[in-house]
Chains A and B, each alone.
Chain A
């Protein structure tokens, strides 16, 4: 996982509940990303942050929120407004001038 830690590995959400997925990195990378992965659809960008206290919406930000208060941390909250949250969530950071993305091990979110 190269210094990118996602937790928990598995998460269950009850209807109407907000849940928060953790992503921590010790690589001193500036940029961090959240993706959602569904079977047969590849990775879709939810939010990204290139610097502390700043973040941008990706392609599917509705129903999600993020914060970037520290360089090491980029938590993702799946809100009750996200009606179809069941998916595999991946956090990534970029390194070097080529902006290659490196990923954590992912969090699998399911609905009870």
Chain B
């Protein structure tokens, strides 16, 4: 079993829909949780960073962490075609190394 599981998709939704992207992890020692967005042939860019359980909101994006279930989510409201990208979850261990999910390819249809 991988330490971080993420469905690779692709996930295709119509413009304006609410998108839910998810990762599960196995190691309860993980401390920090991040979501990165990666456009085709580009490097990943940080979207959201959170430590505690609960929700963190930034514009149309909400990151949710449930440490009891070892489950993290990224919600995108009012999705736009420009949101089409691969979304990677990353979890930081206590030694500051990152464990990455496989990435979910998201397609927003106009």
Contacts of B41 in A (CB 8 A): 88, 106, 108
In the bound complex, do residue A90 and residue B43 qualify as a contact, i.e. CB atoms below 8 Å apart?
yes
Q: Does A1 lie at the interface of the complex (its beta carbon under 8 Å from any beta carbon of B)?
A: yes
A28 and B81 CA atoms in complex are apart in Å by: 35
Q: How far is the CB of B63 from chain A (nearest CB, A)?
A: 14
Question: Given contacts A90-B44, A105-B43, is CB(A99)–CB(B100) below 8 Å?
Answer: no
Q: B30 within 8 Å of A by Cβ? A: no
Residues of A within 8 A of B34 (CB): 100
The stretch of B14-22, B54-62, B65-73, B90-98 that contacts the partner chain: B90-98
B32 and A98 contacting across the interface, CB-CB below 8 Å? yes
- Contact (Cβ within 8 A) B100 A43: yes
Closest chain A residue, CB of each to CB of B32: A98
Residues of chain A whose beta carbon lies under 8 Å from any beta carbon of chain B: 1, 4, 6, 40-45, 88, 90, 92, 94, 98-106, 108
Given A42-B6, A42-B103; 9 other pairs, CB 8 A cutoff: A4-B43, A40-B102, A40-B103, A42-B100, A42-B102, A88-B41, A105-B43, A106-B41, A106-B42
Contact across chains for B102 and A103 when beta carbons are under 8 A apart? no
Instruction: Count A-B contacts at CB 8 Å.
Output: 48
On B, residues with C-beta under 8 Å from A are 4, 6, 8, 32, 34, 41-46, 49, 88, 90, 92, 96-98, 100-103
- Minimum CB–CB distance for A51 against chain B, Å: 14
Report yes or no: B46 in contact with A102, Cβ–Cβ below 8 A: yes
Q: For residue B102, which residue of chain A has the nearest CB?
A: A42
Query: How far is B41's CA from A108's CA once the two chains are assembled, in angstroms?
Result: 8
Interface core residue of A40, A41, A101, A105 (most chain B CB under 10 Å): A101
Q: How distant is the Cα of A41 from the Cα of B100 in the complex, in angstroms?
A: 9
